[in-house]
Amino acid sequence: MYYFDHAAATPPSEEVIRTVYEVMKAHYGNPSSLHQPGLEGGKLLRRAREVCAASLGVQPREVIFTSGATESNNLALKGAALQYRSRGKHIITTEIEHPSVYESAKQLETLGFDVTFLPVGHDGTVTAKQVLEAVQPDTILVSVMHVNNETGSIQPIQEIGRALQSTRPKVLFHVDGVQGYGKVPLSLQSCGIDLYSLSAHKIRGPKGVGLLYIKDGVSLFPLLSGGGQERGLRAGTENVPLIVGMAKAVRMAGEHIEARAKQLRHLREQLVSGIQQIPELVLNSPVQDGAPHIVSFSYPGMKAEALLHMLEEAGFMVSTKSACSSKSAEPSRVLLAMGAGEAAATSGIRISFGEEHTAHHIQLLIDVLTSAVSRLKALKGGF
């Protein structure tokens, strides 16, 4: 099997699997218990927090653990909106956010918040100027993803963050960092980021665990109440083995980013030029500037699922749209926002990869894709 769906979930690294297994086996105590096993659970959490914080260049107290990026994004948006509702009711985000941000914003609309969904250009990005122009006196939060999960387009986080800092420092800035971390360098400190979400399973960690960076001085309205874990921001017994496993994944993904990006970029260039050789396909990702591990294209007029299954038959696993929404046959909201027509937006395919892939794998994929398209074309012509 050739697995090309890293943006949906990465194969976990051996080291992470071993860590999760060993910690789960040896440390089953509840970290809130007062006895030795509990104490050790607490120590593991503290060490995991230190490791994650060091990789992000922030303080350990600024990191809280969650069940994944969906929870982190929900907590960032709803937690900030509810906490600062007396300051204002306006939120700015984009039309291409991950559903966990987009739907949270929609939900907040039903609670009386006013949300601006910024449109994107054909390259799938918003500009800092757009964001600044959308800011109102009652704006409390701006949420912009770092790397788009469907197309890999990179948002100008540094420009947006700095523009907000210099003009409206009280407006909170949330960044969904899920697809960017470990692939596209980003400094939380120098970009003026107040809230930053990560998920472990996109960076070779386990599923069901993530984190939210909450800058010192920012408070959030907790969504989960209970035993006061995670400084009262996220109640619930901490999932120690997965959290320690995530710490390892975060640390490893944070190392050698430049080298990893360079390697992936070579593969991406090869894949993009291969796709450009197939006249039926339209590239959705930016040719040059996208994230190094995601390539999206469409076969306008062809059901995306048909192409996906033909590739799967040949042993190649890819996605239509993002994995979360790929079960519906609706056109992709992201591709529509980028100006794609209905036909292109319903036929999007996403290929995403990692360090274990080589130029040889990409060539195999291009070959399989070429023959799949010509077979489908023949079938389509026969209708």
DSSP states of 214-246 as a string? E-TT-----SS-SS-TGGGTS-S---HHHHHHH
Closest CB to other proteins among residues 50, 123: 50
47 burial class (0-12, 13-18, 19+ CB within 10 angstroms)? Answer: middle
Contacts with other proteins by CB under 8 A lie at 19, 22-23, 26-27, 34-37, 39-40, 42-44, 47-48, 51, 59-61, 244, 247-248, 251
For other proteins, the closer CB: 232 or 300: 232
Residue among 60 and 208 whose Cβ is closer to other proteins: 60
CB closer to other proteins, 124 vs 245: 245
| Residue indicated by tokens 């320690």 | 244
Least Cβ distance, residue 234 to other proteins (angstroms): 18
Q: Is 80 helix (H, G, I), strand (E, B) or coil?
A: helix
Sign of CA dihedral 197, 199, 205, 211: positive
Task: Give the Cα separation of 324 and 314 in Å (integer).
Answer: 23
Q: In 3D, which of 366, 354, 342, 192 has the Cα closest to residue 273?
A: 366
Query: Minimum Å distance from CB 40 to other proteins?
Result: 5
| CB-nearer residue toward other proteins: 21 or 375 | 21
* Min CB(167)–other proteins separation in Å: 17
First to last CA, the chain: 32
- Minimum distance, C-beta of residue 189 to other proteins, in the bound complex (Å): 13
Q: How many CB atoms neighbour CB 331 within 10 A? A: 19
Tokens, residue 351: 């290929």
So which residues are the catalytic ones? 324
Least Cβ distance, residue 114 to other proteins (angstroms): 37
